[in-house]
Structure 1
Amino acid sequence: MSLNFDIKKGVYLYLGKSTPLMGGLGGGSSDAAAFLYAINLIFSLGLSREDLVDVSINFGSDIAYFFYGGMCLVEGRGEKVFKLDEYLSEEIILVIPNKGISTSFAYSLFDKSPRASNYTKQFFDAKKEGFIKLGNVFEDLVLSSDAELKKIKEILNEECEWNLMSGSGSVFYAKTNRTKHIEKKLLGMGKVITSCLKPLELKLIEF
């Protein structure tokens, strides 16, 4: 990046992580997006949102989304981001297993598997009918390779209205009013964080 934009100086970076590592929540990608945005400001590069998206592809496939936020349809390698007007607004919990799943491991399982259903199309078809249908091609693959995560999934199936693994895992998000029951059943396999799934807007980022 320094060569492409003739940056002569370096920067000191302190990163305080609060998003679980190897959780499938996009923590690393959002960190990268924030860093690129900061570099754009610090060195007055004058890059537009689209320029930052183009640059981000050199560093990772999921970074571009974080220059938009909210509910988006993402295609290609992650560089094609389409902002959506509709969104989910559901009170949810996050279940953070004690063990994480590396992205490279999850994709190695994906590369060996038959191509799965088109969950994106199924989601929008269901939305038109007034109900939620969620899917994640990684979930079955990861759960089939890990007995503890499979057990957590079984607990959530019993106690939640719906639940799904986030990204390539290992974190789950779920809608439920039985949080205490889930915490008891986890038996040291993970922890529960109450959260809220709402449209996100990057208020500090202006283009």
Structure 2
Amino acid sequence: MFTLKTPAKINWFLSVLGKREDGYHEILSLMQSISLYDHLTFEHSDRIEIKTDADIPLEENLVYKAAVLLKEKLSVSKGAVITLRKDIPVSAGLGGGSSDAAYALSGLNRLWELGLKDEELIKFGGMLGSDVPFFFKAPIAVVRGRGEIVAGLEVVSRHIIVIVKPALGISSKWAYSEMSKLLPELTKRDNNIKLFCHALERQDFKSIALMMKNDLELPVIREFQVIGEIKDRLLAMGAEASLMSGSGPTVFGVFNSREKAEDAAEAMRPFWSRVVETLI
């Protein structure tokens, strides 16, 4: 028996470049893991069994889907009992389910002694969801395509982050659909990955704030104004920059001190909020 910690992520920027012939959207994103975790515990068994405290139907649980995928694709005769303890909110734009799926693949690769390399796991991960491949190149990576093209990067500076989630869930499919209607209104600007990483290294908050953007933010805030209000409140409480992560509704603020971050997180209640750090 062993346990793996599965981290959440934020998107420092998310550019939607257009719709592909396969129905997915072409994206460019800089993603980084943060110190908020689910936990997966693996035990040997003769069948697949998922135990969890989360209210997720089995057929929608990405941990279960990962196990079934590996078992079927590789004709594995073994089973596993996987216990999922959720701390990352569901449908929050933090990649919790995708992280769980990635670590389920890694954990089963270890439990079943399959000997799969990262590139093989990334291929299986892409079958489960667009954000899954990132977690094999984490903690920070540039993500392209529909999410399947991932290039890991290196940074040595941690950032203090406050994450705030209003009491609603947002479907990624809906967010991308709404964004497609607004494509002519979106301001396109190229993000220089190298410059962004240098700004992160130097903790150059002014440059970070100028380069942070999320093309999904405008349509989501139009429908759910509370997200914009959370952004404004975080900035008013001392955040150097603030952005919606992924398809939302979670908003994160970047702070230059833990004290300010703790005060902001406390002030944001009764919204769900946490102070975390980026992983390096």
Pairwise TM-score range, normalised by the shorter structure:
0.7 to 0.9
Deviates further, 91-100 or 110-119 = 110-119
Q: Deviations over 1:63-104 (max 9, x none)?
A: 111112121111112221111124652222112222222222
1:196 — aligned with what? Answer: 277
2:246 — aligned with what? Answer: 167
Question: Which structure dedicates a bigger proportion of its chain to strand?
Answer: 2
Taking structure 1 as reference, are residues 127 and 19 closer, same or farther at Cα in structure 2, changes over 3 Å only? closer
Equivalent in 89, 92, 98 of residue 20 of structure 1: 89
Taking structure 1 as reference, are residues 118 and 126 closer, same or farther at Cα in structure 2, changes over 3 Å only? farther
Equivalent in 20, 25, 29 of residue 98 of structure 2: 29
Name the amino acid aligned to 2:89: P
- Contact kept, 8 Å, 1:23 with 1:169, in 2: the verdict is yes
Structure 1 distance, partners of 2:194, 2:176, is 25
- Contact kept, 8 Å, 1:71 with 1:87, in 2: the verdict is no
> What is the root-mean-square deviation of aligned Cα atoms in Å?
2.4
Structure 2 distance, partners of 1:101, 1:31, is 19
Q: Deviations over 1:150-194 (max 9, x none)?
A: 22222123222211111111111112326535644x463x13311
Instruction: Figure out how many residues of one structure are paired with residues of the other and give that number.
Output: 197
Structure 2 distance, partners of 1:196, 1:21, is 20
Give the alignment of 1:1-150 within 5 angstroms.
Answer: 1=69, 2-86=71-155, 89-114=158-183, 116-117=186-187, 121-122=191-192, 124-125=194-195, 131-132=207-208, 133-150=211-228
- The alignment status of 1:180 with 2:263, answered yes or no, reads yes
- Contact kept, 8 Å, 2:242 with 2:251, in 1: the verdict is yes
- Cα deviation, residue 30, structure 1: 0.4
Structure 1 distance, partners of 2:91, 2:157, is 24
- Contact kept, 8 Å, 1:91 with 1:175, in 2: the verdict is yes
Q: Name stretches of at least 5 consecutive residues in structure 1 with no aligned partner.
A: 200-207
- Cα deviation, residue 134, structure 1: 0.9
Q: Deviations over 1:12-40 (max 9, x none)?
A: 32211110111111100000001111221
1:154 — aligned with what? Answer: 232
Taking structure 1 as reference, are residues 105 and 151 closer, same or farther at Cα in structure 2, changes over 3 Å only? same
Provide TM-score, normalisation by structure 1.
0.83
| SS in structure 1 at match of 2:169 | coil
Percent sequence identity is 30
Q: Deviations over 1:87-130 (max 9, x none)?
A: 65222211222222222221221232216455662554455676
Structure 2 distance, partners of 1:135, 1:66, is 21
